[in-house]
Structure 1
Amino acid sequence: MVAPLSAWPWNELCNLKYFLYAPLLANCITSWGNDEAGGWCFHILALCALRGVVHQFWYSYSCMLFITDKYRVLKQGVDYKQIDREHNWDNFIILHAFMAAIACYSSTFMDSLPLFNFRGYIYALILHMGITESLYYFIHRMFHSDYLFQNYHSLHHLSVVAQSYTAGTASILENLVMGFLMGIPMLGASWMGGASVTMFYGYVLVFDFIRCMGHCNVEVMPVSLFDHMPVLRYLIYTPSYHSLHHTDMSSNFCLFMPLYDALGNTLNKNSWEFHRRIRTGEDVRVPDFVFLAHVIDVHASMHAPFMFRSVSSKAFKANLLVLPLWPVALVVLQLMWAWAKPFLVSFYCLRNRLLHTWIVPRYGFQYFLPFAKDGINRSIEEAILRADKIGVKVISLAALNKNEALNGGGTLFVGKLPHLRVRVVHGNTLTAAVILHEIPQDVKEVFLTGATSKLGRAIALYLCRKAVRVMMLTHSTERFQAIQKEAPTECQKFLVQVTKYQVAQNCKAWIVGKWLSPMEQAWAPSGTHFHQFVVPPILELRRDCTYGKLAAMRLPDDVEGLGNCEYTMGRGIVHACHAGGLVHLLEGWEHHEVGAIDLDRIDVVWECALKHGLRPLS
């Protein structure tokens, strides 16, 4: 049986729960300018929105790993289970909105409040430090008793690696108590004649700001601050201080002031040393692997992990809710383009190996601009040199970062930097293997676009060895003949050059390495399956055909800390070139995988991927 006030009554409503704000909004609209209650409905709704902004701000900041990685308190990542568990983190804002509405309607001191009253801030601060902090400390300790913890407080502590959203993830009883504790300084200051509009806004937003700071898992407090003023250690907690409560639940119970832990003899003796160690970067860990990705377009850039967790934890798709931020994303990308340095966006662990994803701040279309070529290669080279300097073992290049016309599939860097310790890997060997193993064994004929690219060449030569007829779409007879000559003499007849899509109107196996327009897709017969290795993937326009996803593999089950999706891939799935770099790392291979694909290694890499727990999607 569920304990009373442990579950939220509107959890089953999902996103429809936001309609619970409708009575406040309706009252605000109908009563605006006529009575003070209507005006306070506006302030309540505004505060709710601002509280959400505060939580989002701290989440985004903590996930900007290119700024915060050095000062992360706990080095683990946040996985999908925690993200799903904290999906309804904002339930408490709805609850507190209605608690505030009841207080406004039942009180007379809310009438005609001044905009500012300095005394109210002093009263609220004294009441908070003296009453709210002490009551919270004792109530928090009570919630750690067996019955209350098991039925109410355990949900909050399931998240060892706290984030700002963790702060609000709790039972309804806990948030009722929190609402009353927050009300003490505000109502007390009002009864003492210090109420003002800005006092209410200021107290609530500062309360949330400090609470989110403590849960952000990034140590923001400099050591020098406490060295110069040691008394501050007892007046304001730090993210590392609060993190110790999530790892050692017998200590550090305070709300914001460690003074009460000191008085209650529950202060973790390692708190100050732990804080110093985090701020001095003693626990920074070098990644074993880097996947060097790139931006596809402005809309896709908002799928970054530091934007919206509910968006980045699912496969990318067009999202109307984030479209209003498109201009902001455009400006940020322009600034990053000017900065030009690759930056860390996500990480996860596999078999105790730390794996990073770095982003080159370039749009997809920029890779095809002749004048942008040198700048992009400089950014990629800088990432390789940085990885080499810090001791990364393998760096894997994402789709456009290894474009043949750009840098010869990575050969430019290996040739220019002969003494690299880091292994440069394009991962195309496993990409080819994934595509080839998706093709049914009974297929005798395929139509191949992008036929003279690295992947197209490897796929064509591999299939012709299997006696599969490959119609290679290319207008370059010279490049076709060069590939044909690489095939064994007895297999060359299976490679056929074609120059028009009409030729494939009876072929139901299309392998797409070049983007197809709607008119070009129209030549495929009904029942065609489009295998593809083109970025971005082609539009799924034909209802009578099926579309394969970009070549990808599912990560092993023992992956830790993975909480975001890689572009259009689902949860726990990465592009095949990413997986190819992982195989290179796990096998400990010492060669660079750049340039043309070695056909003899396609099956070797495939078997190694399966051996290490990577799985095909089909």
Structure 2
Amino acid sequence: MGAPLSAWPWENLGIYKYLLYGPLAAKVVYSLIREESVNGSWCFHILLICVLRGLVYQLWSSYSNMLFLTRNRRINQQGVDFKQIDKEWDWDNFILLQALIASMVCSIFLPFHDIPVWNTEGLLLLPLLHVTISEPLFYWVHRCLHGNYFFTRYHSLHHSSPVLHPFTAGSATLLEQLILTLVLGIPIIGSSLMGYGSTSLVYGYILVFDFLRCLGHCNVEIVPHEIFEKLPFLRYLIYTPTYHSLHHIERGTNFCLFMPLFDAMGKTLNSNSWQLHKKVSSDSAKSGRVPDFVFLAHVVDITSGMHAQFVFRSFASLPFVTRIFFLLMWPGTFVVMLMMWAWSKTFLVSFYVLRGWLHQTWVVPRFGFHYFLPFATEGINKQIEEAILRADRLGVKVISLAALNKNEALNGGGTLFVNKHPDLKVRVVHGNTLTAAVILNDIPKDVKEVFLTGATSKLGRAIALYLCRRRVRVLMLTLSTERFQNILEEAPVDCQNYLVQVTKYQAAQNCKTWIVGKWITPREQSWAPTGTHFHQFVVPPILQCRRDCTYGALAAMRLPKDVEGLGTCEYTMERGVVHACHAGGVIHLLEGWSHHEVGAIDVDRIDVVWEAALKHGLKPVSSVN
């Protein structure tokens, strides 16, 4: 059992905790019906303030996760991992707590209809109350919370987050947030009891308070050091993200709320505060650490474009599924898509560290349907080429192309870029060799016959040639006799009879192992016999419309346990799981291979790549319990 006031009373309610806002919302609806207006209802103002507070934290979260803007300004370069995200999942508990307390206080002392919208005297009094009461009170209580007894039972939760983030500001125990509520409420209640309260004072103070809390926890230094050099006294009036980050590193220093003046008076000012701030601020103009590996991804559709950390961190940490709230956000996302077209630059969306190697994901600002527009081919290839050349200039070792970025019809699986730039130092990798290995090793060893769609694609060709060497009969669905003959000629002479060209789905009505490399409709699936298992390497995955059959997931591998800073799920993949083509690029880097992996798959290397993946701790998802 935890210490008193360490747990939240609604922590077992999950998402249903938001029903506690119900009475406030009901009061607003009642006021609207009875009074035909909600402007005079203090419940309305409380709910509106809660929405605005949540928006402040969300906007700061989005900014701090926009790595394409903030990567050179980050104080702690480590990424926020799944463990921290889960720990901070209910970061907004304090907003609900303060809303409930405010509703009780307002119903007794401060009905909003008795408070003017503006009061100049109150706006002058409030900063005075903050500096003379709230700041020293927080400083004193904060130091007490760092005593052994209180820190272990209450404050250690807040310090357990290794990377500061705006949501870290709200991650605390009930006792801490009650104290913070007192610190926040004293200037508001004090000025109101003195007759100087106003609606603008309440809104302004609370939102500025939250803004500064987020500033200190954002892990991105945005305050230029030149301002402190020109106006030295300002460094004692406002803290910086660097200043507060030192408190989480050296816990016996920098206890202030927002004003370092109180640390100076209490002799708890970290001596490195200004020097570190100057260093971080100065280094922001320089290039950051160069990644060893880059995965060049793309957005699948408009809704999946919202599955990024800088949109909703919590949502990005879960496998992608379509949510109802997407309908409300769709128009805004469509506008962003148009802006991305106009900007047309690749941008960084995530990173993680594996055995000291820095891995980054860059995104080409093109949605999935763009790749099937003939007039867009040149523009897409130009952006991919620019990303490869940029990686080459930076000193990236390996760049791996996501599914549609290596489309055969688009650029020949990356061959276009390698042939055009023969002196590339960065290795271009399509990762399909490992994709083929994952699919092939998922097929039971006792299977004697398979049905293969997309049979003449890069993956289809490699899978067919590999299986025929294993003496597995492959029914290759293709209308092109010429392409089938080309593949047949690549097979060993004694294995060629295992490759069979078929032109209709009816040919597979007795085959229970389907390998789907081309999207098939429910009608086409109906030819599969009961008990069929659909392996697939098609994007997007086929519809699971047969209850009497089973469906495999897209080829993917689970990253090893020593990955650090991973806090985003890759599309529909589980946590810690990436598409096989992504993992193929990782293996290319870890093995130090010097060749490009573009164009046709080398069938002889399938087992080599597979063994290398297992050696480095990657596991196929199907074999993970």
TM-score tier, shorter chain, comes to over 0.9
Whole-Å Cα distance in 2 between the matches of residues 61 and 591 of structure 1? Answer: 38
| Partner of residue 318, structure 2 | 314
Whole-Å Cα distance in 2 between the matches of residues 540 and 124 of structure 1? Answer: 61
Whole-Å Cα distance in 1 between the matches of residues 99 and 236 of structure 2? Answer: 31
Letter paired with 2:42: W
Q: CA deviation at 1:111?
A: 4.1
| Partner of residue 420, structure 1 | 424
Per-residue CA shift, 1:574-606, capped at 9, x if unaligned?
000000000000011111111111111100000
1:14-413 alignment to 2 at 5 Å? Answer: 14-32=14-32, 39-107=41-109, 110-281=112-283, 284-413=288-417
Q: 1:466 aligns with which of 453, 460, 470?
A: 470
Q: CA deviation at 1:310?
A: 1.7
Tell me, what secondary structure is at the counterpart of 1:424? strand
Tell me, what secondary structure is at the counterpart of 1:193? coil
Tell me, what secondary structure is at the counterpart of 1:119? helix
Q: CA deviation at 1:108?
A: 5.0
Whole-Å Cα distance in 2 between the matches of residues 538 and 123 of structure 1? Answer: 65
Tell me, what secondary structure is at the counterpart of 1:355? strand
Tell me, what secondary structure is at the counterpart of 2:325? helix
- Contact 2:469/2:495 (8 A) holds in 1: yes
| Partner of residue 583, structure 1 | 587
- Judge which range, 221-230 or 15-24, deviates more: 221-230
Whole-Å Cα distance in 1 between the matches of residues 590 and 378 of structure 2? Answer: 32
Whole-Å Cα distance in 2 between the matches of residues 239 and 505 of structure 1? Answer: 64
Whole-Å Cα distance in 2 between the matches of residues 574 and 110 of structure 1? Answer: 53
- Judge which range, 59-68 or 29-38, deviates more: 29-38
| Partner of residue 518, structure 1 | 522
Tell me, what secondary structure is at the counterpart of 1:359? strand
Tell me, what secondary structure is at the counterpart of 2:78? coil
| Partner of residue 450, structure 2 | 446
Whole-Å Cα distance in 1 between the matches of residues 528 and 110 of structure 2? Answer: 74
Determine whether 1:601 maps to 2:620: no
Whole-Å Cα distance in 2 between the matches of residues 36 and 467 of structure 1? Answer: 76
Tell me, what secondary structure is at the counterpart of 1:257? coil
| Cα pair distance change 1:582/1:321, threshold 3 Å | same
Determine whether 1:537 maps to 2:557: no
| Partner of residue 492, structure 1 | 496
- Contact 1:342/1:361 (8 A) holds in 2: yes
Per-residue CA shift, 1:213-244, capped at 9, x if unaligned?
11111111112222221111111111111111
What is the root-mean-square deviation in Å for CA atoms of aligned residues? 1.4
Whole-Å Cα distance in 2 between the matches of residues 583 and 452 of structure 1? Answer: 26
Tell me, what secondary structure is at the counterpart of 1:349? strand
Whole-Å Cα distance in 1 between the matches of residues 123 and 499 of structure 2? Answer: 80
Q: CA deviation at 1:191?
A: 2.1
Tell me, what secondary structure is at the counterpart of 2:315? helix
Per-residue CA shift, 1:296-325, capped at 9, x if unaligned?
000111111111112110111111133311
Letter paired with 1:9: P
Alignment size in residue pairs: 618
Tell me, what secondary structure is at the counterpart of 1:320? coil
Q: CA deviation at 1:538?
A: 1.2
Whole-Å Cα distance in 2 between the matches of residues 333 and 309 of structure 1? Answer: 20
Tell me, what secondary structure is at the counterpart of 2:455? coil
Structure 1 unpaired stretches of 5+: none
- Judge which range, 274-283 or 186-195, deviates more: 274-283
Per-residue CA shift, 1:525-579, capped at 9, x if unaligned?
1111111111111121111111111100000000001011000100000000000
- Contact 1:36/1:112 (8 A) holds in 2: no
Q: CA deviation at 1:434?
A: 0.3
Q: CA deviation at 1:283?
A: 8.3
| Cα pair distance change 1:108/1:373, threshold 3 Å | closer
Q: CA deviation at 1:124?
A: 1.1
Whole-Å Cα distance in 1 between the matches of residues 8 and 439 of structure 2? Answer: 46
Q: CA deviation at 1:37?
A: 11
Determine whether 1:554 maps to 2:558: yes
Whole-Å Cα distance in 1 between the matches of residues 78 and 534 of structure 2? Answer: 39
Whole-Å Cα distance in 1 between the matches of residues 144 and 243 of structure 2? Answer: 20
Tell me, what secondary structure is at the counterpart of 1:159? coil
* % identical aligned pairs: 65
Q: CA deviation at 1:448?
A: 0.7
Whole-Å Cα distance in 2 between the matches of residues 428 and 37 of structure 1? Answer: 60
Q: CA deviation at 1:112?
A: 2.2
TM-score (norm 2): 0.97
Per-residue CA shift, 1:470-520, capped at 9, x if unaligned?
111111110110001000011111111111111111111111111111211
- Contact 1:30/1:38 (8 A) holds in 2: no
Q: CA deviation at 1:26?
A: 1.3
| Partner of residue 613, structure 1 | 617
Tell me, what secondary structure is at the counterpart of 1:567? coil
- Contact 2:352/2:565 (8 A) holds in 1: yes
- Contact 1:241/1:271 (8 A) holds in 2: yes
Q: CA deviation at 1:118?
A: 2.1
Structure 2 unpaired stretches of 5+: none
Q: CA deviation at 1:193?
A: 2.3
Whole-Å Cα distance in 2 between the matches of residues 162 and 144 of structure 1? Answer: 18
Letter paired with 1:114: P
